Amino acid sequence: MKWSKLTDQTPPNAATLPLDQLNDEQWESLCDGCGRCCMSRFQDELTDDIFQTCIACNLYDRHTGLCRDYENRQYWVPDCWKITKDNIAQIAHWMPLTCAYRLRFEGKSLPQWHPLVSQNQDDKFLSGLMMRSQCVSEKEAEINGWEQYLVSIEHNVKL
């Protein structure tokens, strides 16, 4: 997701309005920029369990925590998610448990550190959920094997 800055135009109710009532700016402001959705996931074919890794997409900039080409990301990475009001029901179970889109879809409140709640972008870094300093590139994972990069879905802790 694109990290969006809070602006004077971002209504404070973006954190509480029903999802179907959010305009595009409000929808984008739900993203806290953690980068967890930019990490590879695997699904066990037998159990359907989803395994989160700390292997970053090739477009993920590990220094800024942003997508290098957000507007064209689906061209370069065809399986990149474009999270919308229309597809949230189908993909929410793949999203991190702390993702604002998933939380709001499930009828849950945003955490206190979320920028829309705290009104402070720095709080999200204090949460420990930002992936930019905790991930490896796809090339590095290919060399070492992806199994060692599994992380807990609830916490970014290597298993």
User: Which tens digits make up the pLDDT trace of 40-78?
Assistant: 988 888 988 888 889 999 999 988 888 999 999 999 999
Report, as an integer, the average pLDDT of 88-103: 90
Residue 1, pLDDT score: 43
Beta pairing, strands 136-137 & 39-43: unpaired
Residue 84, pLDDT score: 93
pTM of the model: 0.77
Domain boundary assignment for the chain: 12-151
Q: Which residues contact 40 (CB under 8 A, 6 or more apart)?
A: 53, 55, 56, 57, 138, 141, 146
* Residue closest to 77 by CA, chosen among 51, 53, 59: 59
